[in-house]
A = this chain, B = another copy of it.
Amino acid sequence: MSYEAPLKEMQFVLKELADINAIAQHPGFEDATPDMVEAILKEAGKLASLVIEPLNNIGDQQGSRLENGVVVNPDGFKEAYQQFVENGWPGLHQPTEFDGQGLPFLMQSAVSEMWNASNMAFALCPMLTAGAIEAINAHGSDEIKKTYLPKMVSGEWTGTMNLTEPQAGSDLSAVRTQATKEGDHYLIKGSKIFITWGDHEMTDNIAHLVLARLPDAPEGVKGISLFIVPKYLINEDGSLGERNDAKAVSLEHKLGIHASPTCVMSFGDETGAVGYLIGEENNGLSCMFTMMNHARLEVGMEGVGLSEGAYQHALAYAKDRTQGYSPGSEGRVSIIHHADVRRMLMQMKAFTEAGRALAYVAAGAHDHAYQSTDEKVADFQRRRMDLLTPIVKAWCTEVAQEVTSLGVQVHGGMGFIEETGAAQYMRDARIITIYEGTTGIQAGDLIGRKVLRDKGATVSELIAELNEFETTLKAQSGDDFAIMSTQFSAALKAVTESTKWVLEKGMETPHSAGAASVNYLMLMGTVLGGWLMAKSALAAQREIDAGSTDEFFKTKILTARFYAEHILPRSEAYATTVQSGVGAIMDLSIENF
């Protein structure tokens, strides 16, 4: 099995759905010409197939391990990372000011998909670094920026995010790590857990961003500050100095992403770890929030990448494995001839394409929002991005659970054998609905901050667009479109009524919104996926009408039809559940569970 980036599909989505050509008009994005986009995707695809994917199984089997205080990565990871750096991938979307290429986030999302599809454990290292760069760039002093960003943008150094403590997971207000001021710096003392790529030997230095509390800080989230704590202190001339008092003391033994060292980090075991303040004191949480949109969209992309990887893996097996007979075929057939295997593959394919469409559209909204010179456009796109972000994060990752599990199922008994590789996608995927805010947290964000807070203004704007689209879809002739239209209308009704319910009843009891939230989010994801699939089908039909005989377009229409027949009908089930509200959920006393 070798992963091949679906270049044609990616280009289609970038152009037809995510508006890459309009994005390239924004100042700063002039380089994102169609030729450049094509060339970048092609090069990234090569690296993913030839260098990164071949390490995926090795990484899973060997894992990263802690030996004598040093994190040892699986064979080949350091070399692959060096090639990744030499080719300039860490800087793709980073500011030109710090020697990045300044290309759209949308482009970053497309190449991220490839890194995740080929080796998610590997992809996490630059992904976390990009998050750290963003926080430093938005809130760091000029000196800190000058010291760290060029090295991090080039990938010579990596970055980590140190948020979680044993008692502070989803609830960061419980953070206890301490920081005390000492001259121009702070001394950090405390323990952090679940620190992704918290230590490794792939680079000379690592910049840890650490949430901690000053001695007299207020309780709760308003008393948290953000610090940068380098693994090696940096001399005035920029050369590396002493080892800082910050180290990985153990690695977690995890279900998946074995190659990614998940560290327990200890800061200040001895004298205290030297750290420097990022942003204002006690304003650390809002510094973290800066990068949250990015990070959540990136995790959604992990879902898309893993889904694509699992799909390609299962497809290759289904074409190869001979078993049983099929109506209309002579002799034994490869299992892709069996209708139920075909159904599973179509389900994987349709979900993956819908997830990709939604994630790219959200990434495009991000670029418009930050880069458009038209304030109205920027405002509109920022609202859209804010609304879509929790949906992309949660829905694309929940979908990945289903897709990667189907990938195992397509393999039959072989899927349960680790050497086959199908199970790894499923194991790796199991973290993505959890970290960077669980599905429940995303759903709470969606229903609380994105729907209820502005009294439905943003979501109504989107629903209005869906209504317009319904008219367009209805007008398209042909059986495939008639089916899409029927199912889309039913789904749109489901989302409209459920949104009305949320706005009217979401605050009825203290738990109404919380009880309904995940089903509401899944409903939104399902319907938006159906919208974008149908929109893709219309674009494909235009190409066919214009004379194209490329099978890609016919395939796109059939996949959209499958989505309408097999996935969109779930919308009404989600809607019924949303509208049952808190129902029986909170009535059972805890002892009676």
Contacts and interface: CB of A to CB of B under 8 A. Distances in A.
A336 to B, nearest CB: 6
A443 B338 CA distance: 13
Contacts of A174: 323, 332
- Oligomeric state, in copies: 2
A339 B583 CA distance: 11
A511 interface: yes
Contacts of A417: 252-255
Contacts of A338: 440, 514
Contacts of A511: 327, 339
Given A332-B171, A554-B592, A565-B580, A412 B438 contact: yes
Given A327-B511, A430-B408, A438-B412, A577 B586 contact: no
Nearest to A580: B565
Given A417-B253, A434-B416, A590 B515 contact: no
B423 A430 contact: yes
B433 A416 contact: no
A289 interface: no
A30 interface: no
A248 to B, nearest CB: 16
A462 interface: no
A511 B328 CA distance: 10
A397 to B, nearest CB: 11
Most chain B CB atoms below 10 A, which of A346, A552, A572: A346
Contacts of A327: 510-511
Interface residues of A, number: 98
Interface string A558-588: 1101100110011011101100101111111
Most chain B CB atoms below 10 A, which of A252, A323, A341, A409: A409
Given A338-B514, A554-B592, A569 B577 contact: yes
Contacts of A570: 570, 573
Contacts of A336: 590, 593
A88 interface: no
Nearest to A593: B315
Contacts of A518: 340, 343
Interface of A: 164, 167, 169-171, 174, 193-194, 252-256, 315, 319, 322-325, 327-328, 332, 336-346, 349, 401, 405, 408-409, 412-413, 415-419, 423, 426-427, 430-431, 433-435, 438-440, 443-444, 480, 483, 487, 510-511, 514-515, 517-519, 551-552, 554-555, 558-559, 561-562, 565-566, 569-570, 572-574, 576-577, 580, 582-593
15 contacts: A171-B324, A171-B332, A254-B416, A255-B416, A255-B417, A256-B416, A338-B440, A340-B444, A341-B440, A342-B588, A551-B589, A559-B588, A561-B584, A565-B584, A572-B572
